[in-house]
Chain A
């Protein structure tokens, strides 16, 4: 490896574009920043050696070089952007509508969207944001971010640290702001220096060469910004672990006591009472009258679960209810969660469900279907299954299916909860005769004797549903998120970086005396107008010529050239 020794005596690392100390363009490397095609120097990263791609490279170096390319980073971001956009075309797996004929992704996408849907599913876009390749894509962006930043920050810092007040004249003359002045006295130079000092420039001098610098701090903005992004990515990684992030859901019925999922059996919740308030119930809601009437459904104003949270003793045996201690008795309302043991529980939905059914017994021959007797059956946890009615009739619930469906004319139980209850009753008449068996459900009142080929007598009595009571089932979300402060910190650092880079400017002004002239050059990373004003102010009342904006000159020159060509 050859080091590049500049004529000022400074030894630069391989790949340097502009000498770190004096800024003289290193011959042969000008193509890197395209300096050979322009009059003005490209001051990006101070012309420091960013990538050591001229070395004999090991495998590690090659990976490093790959990721240190901004081009690669931009391509990765573009791919991620495109993929994320495609992921929003059709609903994600989790958001397949409830009412879809089939919620199985393998069926849903093809059935709903045809061939495109099938391809969408097969390429894994239906579960994009959790798919391994999407995660790897995001991780690659993270790697690119870290390596690009390191590969630029370190040489830039080095170059800014090593820069000397004495700059090469080529470096100066190829700056955007540049002028040459004759006959400048030492007093005038001194005056400029003091004015710059007053404007809070840092002044360094060497052999009468003056270097004024301000706001170097602004150059670190993008890197501070990247640190913020990296912290956000780390937070996102931690969010995939149950230790830092937990998200569970629970349906709990009024009166039911359940273990809170995700809490390692530490907590139980008992749902005491559910309250649903809708708009339009109170007088003050009158002002929303029109809005309410435009809705087909009731608009919920508040829903609330009054519950008891129990904590289980640490060394208790599971299932032992004596080991439970009341932790709190919260009212969990929409947007007013309750907190226990690091968990937060939100009210996030409700359902209505049958809680009990009332029946009447009547004689099939009675056209008025007058009730012989009535009884009420608890659907969730029935304690009473034999009902003695007036006149000595007894009705026994022989079988109860909370949620049944008919499979080949045989009732099968579909779930545990009373969504579509079905009953087999035995009616014992007062004379102690044979009980009559019948099957009843919503919309069904079935006498088995009608299909019985043995020709049994038809039932004399029927049972009809007269009333249904409902109860609420509360949907509660349980979360624990320790990554939020980390996200916040990342966002804060990100913002600090943005502000640092946006609201400050790195301004540099060089005064370079030669044998008969004084060269004045200036550079800033943004706001050229500002630095021009600073120079104007500094050279006021002196014979120093105001710096010309060579960019404008260059542009004009180009315009002229193209005009001539026409």
Chain B
């Protein structure tokens, strides 16, 4: 009887020790994993696919829409592609001609382009728009507000937004014309 009790106690003790050690080890390892992860994870953008695209309101620079402001939320009901770029970015320059071409095709399907330039120099920007004969709206984000809002780190970056104002995809690289077409087809309003 005594022996049994002792054995029972021993068993309990062993189990308690196991729980105690496992839980302490668990906490320590979890803290390690967290530290390594949070130190090495890539800069996360605040908004991603599935989120509502945050609204902004900026001055138009394209003479086609002279002296108007553009507010993103006004474009609801249309598919919207936001393109972040600036005049000194040469990959962006490569894209410009076919962006213009593509715009002409997709405008009638209910898609709007918004080119958000993070240029500081309005004159340089206007000259650029003229030289490429751009017909889509170009807005200037000279305080970096919209760029920061969308956590843009690379140029060009494109945000595809559907008719409900929801982000479908963010692409942070130069696109080929057919690639751009595929992405645009996804946001064509029904």
Contacts and interface: CB of A to CB of B under 8 A. Distances in A.
Interface of A: 1, 52, 55, 58, 60-61, 63-64, 130, 132, 135-136, 139-140, 142-143, 146-147, 150, 234, 236-237, 240-241, 256-259, 261, 264-265, 268, 317-320, 380-383, 385, 397, 399-403, 412-417
A317 B28 contact: no
Interface stretch (B140-148, B161-169, B173-181): B140-148
B57 A136 contact: no
Given A63-B25, A319-B141, A399-B127, 14 more contacts: A60-B18, A60-B22, A130-B40, A139-B28, A264-B46, A317-B73, A319-B57, A383-B123, A400-B123, A400-B127, A401-B124, A402-B124, A415-B88, A416-B124
A310 to B, nearest CB: 10
Given A136-B32, A237-B31, A256-B120, A318 B146 contact: yes
Contacts of A414: 88
Contacts of B148: 259, 261, 265
SS of A interface (majority): mixed
A317 to B, nearest CB: 5
9 contacts: A58-B18, A135-B39, A136-B36, A237-B34, A258-B144, A264-B46, A317-B56, A318-B55, A413-B88
B57 A259 contact: no
Interface of B: 10, 14, 17-18, 21-22, 24-25, 28-29, 31-32, 34-36, 38-40, 46, 54-58, 71, 73, 86-88, 90, 119-124, 127, 139, 141-146, 148-149
Q: Which of B73, B86, B121, B141 has the most CB of A within 10 A?
A: B121
A231 to B, nearest CB: 13
B144 A259 contact: yes
A417 B120 contact: yes
A402 to B, nearest CB: 6
Interface hub of B21, B40, B127, B141 (most chain A Cβ within 10 A): B21
Contact of B121 (A130, A132, A140, A382): A382
Contact of B123 (A58, A237, A382, A412): A382
A36 B177 CA distance: 83
B143 A257 contact: yes
A58 to B, nearest CB: 6
Contacts of B32: 135-136, 139-140, 142-143
A149 to B, nearest CB: 11
A319 B56 contact: yes
A268 B142 CA distance: 12
Contacts of A380: 120-121
A61 B14 CA distance: 10
A136 B17 CA distance: 26
Given A259-B144, A399-B127, A130 B25 contact: no
B88 A319 contact: no
Contact of A381 (B10, B28, B38, B121): B121
B10 A146 contact: no
A139 B36 contact: yes
Closest 7 CB pairs of A and B: A139-B32, A318-B56, A237-B35, A240-B39, A319-B58, A319-B56, A413-B88
B35 A240 contact: yes
Contacts of A52: 17
A258 B18 CA distance: 57
Contacts of B119: 416
A150 B25 CA distance: 12
Nearest to A138: B35
Contact of B38 (A140, A241, A261): A241
A240 B28 CA distance: 16
A265 B46 CA distance: 11
Contacts of A257: 142-143
A318 B54 contact: yes
A6 B75 CA distance: 86
Contacts of B124: 400-402, 413, 416
Contacts of A147: 24, 28
Nearest to A415: B88
A146 B20 CA distance: 13
A55 to B, nearest CB: 8
Contacts of A382: 121, 123
A198 to B, nearest CB: 43
Contacts of A417: 120
Contacts of A60: 18, 21-22, 25
B34 A381 contact: no
Contacts of A264: 46
Nearest to B73: A317
A408 to B, nearest CB: 13
A261 B151 CA distance: 10
Contacts of A320: 57
A241 to B, nearest CB: 5
Contacts of B142: 257
B145 A381 contact: no
Contacts of A63: 25
Contact of A416 (B18, B58, B90, B120): B120
Given A139-B35, A237-B31, A413-B88, A1 B121 contact: no
